[in-house]
Structure 1
Amino acid sequence: MSGAGPVEAVIFDWGGTLTRWHDVDFHAESVALAQAVLATPTREDDHHAHAARLHRAGSVIWGRSRDHQRSATIADLFTEAGLDHDPDLLAAYYEFWEPHTATDPEVRPLWEALRAAGVKVGVLSNTIWPRAWHVGFFERDGVADLIDGDVYTSEIPWTKPSPLAFRAAMDAVGATDPARCVYVGDRLYDDVWGARNAGLRAVHVPHSTIPADQVGHTEGEPDAVVGSLSELLDVLDAWA
């Protein structure tokens, strides 16, 4: 990369952007999540009934994110389902998702090049998972040391595409001017429309199959499209 020009920071989506997109069996996800439900005396509340309630609750939680940019946590998901849970029993849920969390091999050389050029690296992810899980994935894959600031919506009130979520990510990396920031993501609503609405430039990575119920009211027009993360450097060079 020859120079960043006006770009001060590049902020990345996580799932489907820094990780490769995987189709997920959401029923199996709910079955794994249901293993954290505390036993109740209600006879009809068997494991599969818990899973069904959690699946419906997930639709509600992510619907609020899509339509109202309201964030949530795993605990909120159980609350919405009307179920008590023990966080220490989430191992099956974590293990279900762990194979889908591998960092794209192109991330480390890309981030090294960005930081060598004086560009800050950030992460902004719509997630109900705790920070520790995400940080653990980055540490496991040897890239955590290259992140200047990261924001997970489970710890702030808003989700993408709220401008407030993008502002939180800018604050995390120490950036002040959205026009000098770039957001990279796989979703035309949350990531592209959201970033541009917040004043950032947006780069689309169009490899993900977005479920119909997660598509928002608007599809944004990206400033650039890349076929792989490694192509981002050429885009920034062209802008510089």
Structure 2
Amino acid sequence: MSAETVRGTRASAPVRAVIFDWGGTLTPWHEVDLPEQWRVFAREVHGVPVDSPDVAEEDVAAAERLAAQILEVESAAWRGGRETHSSATLESVLDAAGIDPAHDRHHLALAAYRRFWEPHTFTDPDVRPLWTALHDRGIRVGVLSNTIWSRDYHREIFERDGVLDLIDGDVYSSEIDHVKPHPEAFRAVCDAVGIPPRESVYVGDRLFEDVHGPQQVGMRAIWIPHSDLPEEQRVAVDATPDAVAERLGDVLDIVDRW
């Protein structure tokens, strides 16, 4: 069941757009071995086959050092996002870790990195029927994601899963200066869908980024509290969602009531 606590002027505005977080919202929440993403990348850079008995120990050690170095840079980038709301890109992370994009194995390393992430990128089965039903009501659909990945990469994922045609506007923090919960991110996606914040709803799984953030600019916020966030990703915040949805499909009932 959904619990609502609609407050203030947001409650009286019509809903003309619903905008969604991506990871943990449009994709089911997964626990991910974050150090492993960079191990698979670094092993390709150094040409270290997985589980091969013929690999030199120094090559294995070099790959491990590189993986740890990239993880440290990436962790600092995400920490900066939480503390100062600054954005980053995959390219900026790799550059800061000293990766040469002209390296002859760089494209193989990126492909291995994508293969690692692919099982964690599949769109929730509720998405297409939900977005279709919103469109049937004349409501626009948007996406706003904190991500180091490119717009093209995310759109490839949506196209693969057969929902790209239902997106009216999308913004990724990798293409702007700030991440959620900075107000700029929410204003940017409202501009992208062509609907003002007070007539837009945001849906996400994190209180800090996805409830506190949109409410700063006058949006209503629906919280989907099913993601088991690691402690280092949690930010203490006094924020009360305008509604709670136990699953993505519940969003339509909430919007209908509004």
TM-score by length of 2: 0.85
Residue 24 (structure 2) pairs with residue 16 (structure 1): yes
CA RMSD of aligned residues (A): 1.8
Q: 2:46, 2:63 within 8 Å by CA — same for their partners in 1?
A: no
AA at the equivalent of 2:228: T
Q: Gaps spanning 5+ residues in structure 2: where? A: 1-12, 48-57
Which residue, out of 19, 22, 35, partners 1:27? 35
Structure 1 position 130, deviation (Å) = 1.1
Residue 66 (structure 2) pairs with residue 83 (structure 1): no
Q: Gaps spanning 5+ residues in structure 1: where? A: none
Q: 1:38, 1:85 within 8 Å by CA — same for their partners in 2?
A: no
Number of the residue aligned with 1:122 = 142
Which residue, out of 229, 234, 237, partners 2:248? 229
Number of the residue aligned with 1:60 = 76
Larger Rg: 2
Structure 1 position 234, deviation (Å) = 1.1
Residue 254 (structure 2) pairs with residue 212 (structure 1): no
Question: Structure 1 segments of 4 or more deviating over 6 A?
Answer: none
Aligned residues: 231
Structure 1 position 84, deviation (Å) = 2.5
AA at the equivalent of 1:105: P
Q: Decide whether aligned partners of structure 1 residues 231 and 24 sit closer, same or farther in structure 2, where only a CA change above 3 A counts.
A: same
Q: Decide whether aligned partners of structure 1 residues 142 and 32 sit closer, same or farther in structure 2, where only a CA change above 3 A counts.
A: same
Residue 64 (structure 2) pairs with residue 51 (structure 1): no
Q: Decide whether aligned partners of structure 1 residues 156 and 36 sit closer, same or farther in structure 2, where only a CA change above 3 A counts.
A: farther
Number of the residue aligned with 1:181 = 200
Structure 1 position 34, deviation (Å) = 2.3
Q: 1:111, 1:121 within 8 Å by CA — same for their partners in 2?
A: yes
Task: Between 11-20 and 73-82, report the one with greater CA deviation.
Answer: 73-82
Once the two structures are superposed, residues 183-228 of structure 1 have per-residue CA deviations (whole angstroms, 9 ceiling, x without a partner) of 0000011111111112110000111011111112425210000011
Number of the residue aligned with 2:14 = 6
Q: State the alpha-carbon separation in 1 of the partners of residues 27 and 180 from structure 2.
A: 18
User: What percent identity do the matched residue pairs reach?
Assistant: 52
